[in-house]
Amino acid sequence: MSDEMRVFDADNHYYEALDAFTRHIEPEYAKRAMQWAEVNGRQMLLVGGKINRFIPNPTFDRLSAPGSLEQYFRGNNPKGDSVKDLFGELEPCDPAYRDREIRLKTMDQLGIEGALFFPTLGVGMEMALRDDLPAARAAFRAFNKWMDEDWGFAYEERIFAVPYLTLSDVDNAIEQLEWVLERDARVILLQTGPVLTAEGMKSPADPRFDPFWAKVQESGVTVAYHGGGNAYMDLITMWGEGAEMEAHRFEPLRAALSHDAVADTFAALILHGLMGRFPHIRFATIETGADWVAPLLKRLGKLYSQTPKAFAEDPREVFKRNVWVSPFYENDLAALRGIMGSDHLLLGSDWPHTEGLADPHSFTDDLTEAGYPEDEQRLIMYDNCKSLVQRRPA
């Protein structure tokens, strides 16, 4: 692969197989976790015995083309077409979305050397099982086994499927961490927002989780936070919105509310001292955009100037040292360049999702327009993500 074609993408996706959550589910949890049922002639996903609508068609048998909503997310929809119309003609599920050997060939065609692979359905399932935490833990134990079988955590050093860990029980989290590390996981995925435990909501930086974080730092694995369901759904209901989230459903108030789980997650990780206790852990934010970064750093700066003796170091510098950010293509990339160093920014194409980029290389056009020189573009398009899949034990 030539230098001109080298891209290392921080945000690729698969479309889960029908048995992704059921193939390896422990029998005692089979009816409490995920099941399939036919309802009015359609195959529907049941989660915790209830129809789940996080993904309108979780069978993924027919899909919109990659990047079909790009112009919509750039704010270009002069005709006012509905999202459903913008999806265009639905197509049968491309085998590359579910078969890693075929996907490698597609990656060659797209000029992608390597990529992090995240769930499509899976990022909404922890919240779907929030009322049955043991079932949620069992579901993701099964899911990670499926992921390892079908995709691999470091397949051919090109496909880096990211296992999903839940912190609701620290012993289970440690066991799962050790299991995925034994299978060469390079990046792990956690849910943004406070952690729901049997004792209630807890900060992810609560000392009860320190044994887990200690093993993360010791291993050198990168921790990713990806957009999806989180406990902030409760905030939405206060304003009369439904708690159930459905992908691409147009709900203006939900989109406009200022709730920002990822910003608050990093505020907690820094201000509750986790990054001070474990300063070598690397964090990556994927498919959460970057518009939250400047406001968060402004708040952290004000706190630091008000009470400098309360901090061992400037919390803004802690963030810039420990966190890598994958911005959306529609974000203000020029302003971001003045806030974050290019060595901590990542290409995240979201391929093959509809809201992503059909051609991951086209992100260079956005970077060029925003004033990033070629050496900085190379960092963002290739070097930074590749470095994150190399373990750096403390």
CA–chain centroid gap for 341, Å, is 21
Tell me the mean pLDDT in the region 269-277: 96
pLDDT (mean) for 329-354: 96
Q: Percent of the chain scored above 90 by pLDDT?
A: 84
pLDDT category, 260, cuts 50, 70, 90?
confident
- Range from 52-66, 173-187, 252-266 carrying the lowest mean pLDDT: 252-266
Q: So what's the pLDDT on residue 394? A: 76
Which is higher by pLDDT, 82 or 333? 333
More confident residue, 83 or 322: 322
59-63, 184-188, 254-258: least confident range: 254-258
Average pLDDT over every residue of 177-187: 98
H helices of 55-207, in order, are: 70-73, 83-86, 100-110, 125-128, 133-150, 170-182
Considering only CA atoms, which of 156, 155, 152, 173 is closest in space to residue 164?
173
Grade residue 231 by pLDDT with cuts at 50, 70 and 90: confident
pLDDT level of residue 91 (50, 70, 90 thresholds)? very high
pLDDT of residue 1: 38
Residues 330, 69 contacting (CB under 8 angstroms): no
Mean pLDDT of 139-157: 98
Chain Cα centroid distance, residue 268: 18
Residue 196, beta-bridge partner list: 201
Query: How high is the pLDDT of residue 344?
Result: 98
| pLDDT (mean) for 128-136 | 97
pLDDT at 82: 86
- pLDDT score for 152: 98
In one-letter notation, the amino acid at residue 133 is L
- What's the pLDDT band for 203 if we cut at 50, 70, 90? very high
User: What percentage of the chain reaches a pLDDT higher than 70?
Assistant: 93
Characterise 235 by phi-psi region: left (phi > 0), alpha (psi -120 to 50), beta (else). Answer: alpha
Grade residue 248 by pLDDT with cuts at 50, 70 and 90.
Answer: low
Question: What confidence category does residue 69 fall into, taking pLDDT thresholds of 50, 70 and 90?
Answer: very high
pLDDT class of 255 with cuts at 50, 70, 90: low
pLDDT band at 252 (very low <50, low <70, confident <90, very high): low
pLDDT above 70: residue 251 = no
Nearest to 285 by CA among 310, 306, 265, 314: 265
Cis-peptide, bond into residue 352, ω within 30° of zero: yes
Q: Mean of the per-residue pLDDT values for the chain? A: 93
pLDDT at site 256: 57
pLDDT of amino acid 2: 43
The reported pLDDT for the residue numbered 250 is 54
Sorted by where each starts, the structural domains of the chain and their CATH numbers stand as: 3-388 (3.20.20.140)
User: Which residue is listed with tokens 């435990």?
Assistant: 197
Q: Are 219 and 391 in contact (CB under 8 A)?
A: yes
Beta-bridge partner residues of 8? 114
d(CA 337, CA 284): 17
> Per-residue pLDDT averaged across 29-42, rounded?
95
Please give the average per-residue pLDDT across 221-226, as a whole number: 98
pLDDT over 90 at 259, yes or no:
no
Among 175-189, 232-246, 253-267, name the most confident range: 175-189
pLDDT over 80 (residue 268): yes
Stronger pLDDT, 388 or 245, i.e. the higher one: 388
pLDDT (0 to 100) of residue 149: 98
Give bridge partners of residue 107 from the DSSP assignment. Answer: none
